[in-house]
């Protein structure tokens, strides 16, 4: 008979039994479930709601069940529907009467809310660690390429000179905010729903502050309906993961471009690239493409749960059992993507020669040419127009700006002098962009050091 079978005259139809069950996926929550039950039992004992003997028997029984599950000795049963009832049934089978007292002053509604919050909290820690490893790789690579000039792009058109370090540190800044978003989520979710009961609290003299503290929460949730009803922490988590995947996906897109023969800015290590079954010459950036592709899954997980939640009246509805799989899927996806992506970047070869060659074409020093004239007294808008004429001249002659002779330059403005050639050198153009946050070496050094300090502060 079911744990809840008292008022039923018939067995559950087999189709319903399978349909209703969540044990095949929520068994992942076994540890959170057992930890939560131990804290609950100790609190019931401390408040005199169950006896000291029963408390001890429950805690010891749960410890043994935990060890057996981790040793792979436990088989869960679909007849017990979910992880909560599986654990409770196992306990009662092992310790008898005392096991039946565990669920006093508790409902599966606050139990599942508790387990899921604790699960998300733990995974946030795992993902933050992985992000910090990725950040470490970015700092290490950036430190090597602070003077490596590459074209910076807008509209995927060569725009202005930057360094490879500057480009990498842009992602470093994004992943730092991803860490902070996850930290914010962890801080906000850290209120304990245990003791909210089915929805309306309980008549027993429980101590919610005690269980909250024992389970590492800042305190109990202040409204029992809210405690069992909302999944906003899971949605916030999925939002943060979606944004993180969006960053990884943009980065992947650039890795894919950079690996192409059209760019050849980087080459992936053989261990992080794949071949083609028909084209012998191919070396494909599959890792980056899969990360880009898997971003769609995580967005789907977020949209799925948002849609599950949007029409639900308070408090618990069975629809909410659908909260777990999207979160598990997003966790699995992100936790798979981050380490392989970091390792791919760690082992890539950077073709600074090709970056420099690409930077040499496309007039990415045109702004610097206009700035040169502006610094000699011409209003910027006029300098902009004059430089535009020069670019047209160069395009007609197949030249770069620095290949124009001084008389050619002076034909459009007498402000040009010999020192213009220094001003047009890409290395100088980059080095002089020393405004706060710019690509000059002093600034990329500052960025790298700041990010390293952030990583340290989180260790
Ligand atoms: N397996 C359920 C879930 O994941 C646990 C809560 C069930 N509560 C209930 N009243 N049926 O949501």
Nearest CA to ligand 1 atom 11: 318
109 pocket-lining for ligand 1 (C-beta < 6 Å) = yes
Residue of 109, 308, 322, 324 best suited for mutating to test ligand 1, as the one with most atoms within 8 Å of CB = 109
Q: Which CATH number fits domain 360-440: 3.90.1300.10, 3.30.465.10, 1.10.40.30, 3.40.50.170?
A: 1.10.40.30
- Confirm if 163 and 439 have CB atoms less than 8 A apart: yes
82 pocket-lining for ligand 1 (C-beta < 6 Å) = yes
- The alpha carbon of 109 and the centre of ligand 1 are apart by a number of angstroms equal to 6
Tokens of 57: 């028997």
338 pLDDT more than 90: yes
Check for a shared fold between 9-104 and 360-440: no
- The alpha carbon of 114 and the centre of ligand 1 are apart by a number of angstroms equal to 12
- pTM metric for this prediction: 0.95
pLDDT of residue 281: 83
Q: Which CATH architecture has domain 109-140+163-204+216-357?
A: Up-down Bundle (1.20)
42 pocket-lining for ligand 1 (C-beta < 6 Å) = no
| Helix, coil or strand: residue 279 | coil
pLDDT grade for 156, boundaries at 50, 70 and 90: very high
- Does the annotation mark 40 as catalytic? no
Query: Which pairing describes strands 157-163 and 149-154: parallel, antiparallel, or unpaired?
Result: antiparallel
Question: Per-residue pLDDT tens for 317-328?
Answer: 999 999 999 999
108 pocket-lining for ligand 1 (C-beta < 6 Å) = yes
157 pLDDT more than 80: yes
Nearest to 259 by CA among 239, 238, 218, 289: 289
Among 243-247, 269-273, 292-296, the least confident range: 269-273
3 pLDDT more than 90: no
404 pocket-lining for ligand 1 (C-beta < 6 Å) = no
139 pocket-lining for ligand 1 (C-beta < 6 Å) = no
1 pLDDT more than 80: no
Of 459 and 230, the structure prediction assigns the larger pLDDT to 230
167 pLDDT more than 90: yes
390 pocket-lining for ligand 1 (C-beta < 6 Å) = no
pLDDT grade for 205, boundaries at 50, 70 and 90: very high
- The alpha carbon of 66 and the centre of ligand 1 are apart by a number of angstroms equal to 21
Q: Which CATH architecture has domain 9-104?
A: Orthogonal Bundle (1.10)
pLDDT grade for 5, boundaries at 50, 70 and 90: confident
Question: Per-residue pLDDT tens for 110-129?
Answer: 999 999 999 999 999 999 99
- The alpha carbon of 367 and the centre of ligand 1 are apart by a number of angstroms equal to 62
pLDDT of residue 2: 80
Residues 48-70 have a mean pLDDT of 98
Residues 410-439 have a mean pLDDT of 94
| Helix, coil or strand: residue 159 | strand
Q: d(Cα 443, Cα 449) in Å, to the nearest integer? A: 10
For the chain, the structural domain boundaries read: 9-104, 109-140+163-204+216-357, 360-440
Question: Per-residue pLDDT tens for 126-140?
Answer: 999 999 999 999 999
CA distances from 302 to 25, 84, 298 (A): 18, 25, 6
Residue found by looking up tokens 């535009």 in the block: 388
Out of 1-15, 292-306, 357-371, 401-415, give the one with best mean pLDDT: 292-306
Residues 343-358 have a mean pLDDT of 97
- Does the annotation mark 247 as catalytic? no
Determine which helix (DSSP H) or strand (DSSP E) holds 166, and give its type and residue range: helix 164-189
pLDDT grade for 229, boundaries at 50, 70 and 90: very high
- Confirm if 40 and 211 have CB atoms less than 8 A apart: yes
Catalytic residue among 51, 77, 276, 434: 276
DSSP for 370-418 reads HHHHHHTT--HHHHHHHHHHHHHHHHHHT--GGGS-HHHHHTT-TT--T
422 pLDDT more than 90: yes
């Amino acid at each position: 008979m079911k744990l809840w079978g008292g008022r039923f005259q018939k067995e559950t139809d087999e189709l319903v039994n399978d349909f209703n069950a969540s044990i095949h996926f929520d068994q992942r929550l076994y540890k959170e479930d057992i930890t939560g039950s131990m804290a609950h039992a100790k609190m019931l004992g401390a408040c005199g709601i169950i006896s000291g003997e029963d408390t001890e028997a429950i805690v010891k029984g749960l410890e043994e069940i935990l060890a057996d599950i981790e040793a792979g000795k436990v088989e869960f049963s679909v007849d017990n529907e979910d992880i909560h009832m599986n654990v409770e049934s196992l306990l009662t089978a092992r310790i008898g009467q005392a096991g039946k007292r565990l669920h006093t002053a508790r409902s599966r509604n606050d139990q599942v809310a508790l387990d899921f919050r604790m699960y998300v909290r733990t995974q946030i820690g795992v993902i933050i660690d992985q992000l910090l490893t990725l950040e470490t790789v970015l700092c290490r690579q950036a430190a090597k390429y602070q003077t490596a000039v590459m074209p910076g792009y807008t509209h995927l058109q060569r725009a202005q000179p930057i360094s490879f370090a500057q480009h990498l540190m842009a992602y470093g800044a994004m992943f730092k905010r991803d860490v902070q978003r996850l930290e914010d989520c962890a801080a906000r979710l850290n209120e304990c729903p245990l003791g909210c009961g089915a929805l309306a609290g309980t008549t027993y003299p429980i101590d919610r502050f005690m269980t909250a503290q024992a389970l590492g929460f800042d305190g109990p949730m202040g409204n029992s309906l809210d405690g069992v009803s909302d999944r906003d922490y899971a949605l916030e988590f999925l939002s943060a993961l979606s944004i993180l995947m969006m960053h990884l996906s943009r980065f992947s897109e650039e890795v894919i471009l950079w690996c192409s023969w059209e760019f050849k800015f980087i080459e992936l290590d053989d261990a992080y690239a794949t071949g083609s079954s028909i084209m012998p010459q191919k070396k494909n950036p599959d890792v980056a493409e899969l990360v880009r592709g898997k971003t769609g899954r995580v967005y789907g997980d977020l949209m799925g749960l948002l849609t599950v939640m949007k029409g639900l009246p308070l408090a618990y509805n069975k629809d909410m059992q659908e909260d777990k799989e999207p979160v598990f899927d997003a966790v699995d996806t992100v936790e798979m993507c981050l380490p392989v992506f970091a390792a791919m970047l760690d082992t890539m070869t950077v073709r600074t020669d090709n970056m420099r060659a690409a930077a040499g074409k496309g007039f990415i020093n045109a702004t610097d040419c206009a700035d040169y004239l502006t610094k000699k007294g011409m209003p910027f808008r006029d300098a902009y127009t004059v430089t535009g004429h020069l670019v047209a001249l160069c395009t007609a002659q197949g030249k770069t700006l620095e290949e124009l002779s001084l008389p050619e330059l002076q034909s459009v403005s007498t402000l040009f002098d010999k020192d213009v050639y220094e001003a047009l050198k890409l290395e100088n153009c980059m080095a002089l962009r020393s405004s706060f946050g710019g690509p000059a070496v002093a600034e990329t050094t500052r960025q790298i050091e700041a990010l390293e300090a952030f990583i340290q502060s989180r260790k």
